[in-house]
Amino acid sequence: MPKPINVAVVGFGNAGKTFHAPLVAAEPGLTLHTVVSSRPDDVHAVWPDVRVIPTYEAVLADPAIGLIVLATPDALHASQAEAALNAGKPVVVDKPFALTLADARRLVDLSETTGVLLSIFQNRRWDADFLALQAELASGRLGQVVTVESRFDRHRPLVRDRWRENDGDGVWMDLGPHLVDQILTLFGRPEAIACDFAIQRVGGQTPDWSHAVLRYPDKRVILNASMVCAAPDVRFAVHGTKGSWLKSGLDVQEDQSKAGMAVGAPGWGVDRKPGTFVDGEAGERSPAPGPAGHYQAFYAGIASALRDDGPAPVTARQALSVMEVLDAGLRSNASRREIAL
């Protein structure tokens, strides 16, 4: 077994604490070596043996670090990723990996020029509901899919004083990367997108509601994200010529990690609300359970890619395709018209 690769997680907010540090630590091919944080006590309360340092520059200069994970505010992603690539450090960036399409293209070009790995943390490819949907589509029992609705709805009616809600493009750049990446994974690039954003909460500084329609030759895909929805009953609604597949509830892995469950423990990722298949001819409804969610697959793939055993689980080019759709959505909302892709 090759020696595990030392990893530095930069940032210990929700992303670093809930997702990256536990998943890195659970991967045998990686070692959670360093956390960059100004709050060492918070880190050591969870990871007592992990080195904590205050500056990113120290990680860039440390030859012991073989992978950098950026779990920092979105506005820092592009500059920090650029610094990592220029230092010859493979880097995983939380989504979105840049705030502008120009920055995203520049980073992808730099990764390809230097030959240094750049990957984006699209963990929701391994949500239980998304894995179940992929299985449904592969089975063929939905027939020709004509409409897909994918929603991330939450009920957070009070605006919180945090960077995600004080600056930027709101839920479209926060949740939109997940929604778009899943659809591109299933169906590829759409022909066009029409987007509408709104601020629905009193005192809101950034859009807290987004609605997008992706046009494909043979189907329409609706993507919705909102922060004022006390009845988030629809996660997916997929309609085909032979039947429909309905799903409510969000993947449990984030909540399990926040509750202190060890990654991969019994029950990890098991969907408590499996989907429902509706037979189009008989009208009968039947449970449609799928596999458990498996966020571990992302860092297992990263470890393999660093050993040259395969491509990154999310390639830089795939992430750039997501950014192109997100950028078109921004332009669509600004111009109040459909944007061709």
**CATH no. for residue 13?**
3.40.50.720
Decide: helix, strand or coil at residue 237: strand
CA distance 226 to 1: 46
Asked, for residue 300, whether it belongs to a domain, the answer is no
The CATH code of the domain that includes 259 is 3.30.360.10
Closest CA to 293 of 2, 42, 19, 25: 19
Total domain count for the chain?
2
Other Cβ atoms less than 10 A from the Cβ of 265: the count is: 11
What does the DSSP 8-state code read for residue 101?
A: H
Q: CA–CA separation, 312 vs 92, rounded Å?
A: 10
pTM value?
A: 0.95
Residue ranges making up the domain that contains 236: 124-295+326-340
Provide the pLDDT for residue 205: 87
Question: What is the pLDDT, as a whole number, of residue 167?
Answer: 67
Residues of the chain scoring pLDDT < 50: none
- In terms of domains, do 209 and 267 share one? yes
Closest CA to 26 of 223, 279, 249, 298: 298
Hey, CA dihedral for 73, 76, 78, 83, is it positive or negative? negative
301: in domain: no
Query: Looking up tokens 């899943």, which residue turns up?
Result: 182
Phi, psi torsion values for 302, nearest 5 degrees = -65, -45
Structural contact between residues 52 and 82, judged by C-beta atoms closer than 8 angstroms: no
76 and 131: one domain?
A: no
Q: Please check whether residues 151 and 228 belong to one and the same domain.
A: yes
Whether 181 contacts 124, CB under 8 Å: yes
* Amino acid 161: pLDDT: 74
Question: Do residues 194 and 337 lie in contact, with contact meaning Cβ atoms separated by under 8 Å?
Answer: yes
For residue 337, the model assigns a pLDDT of 98
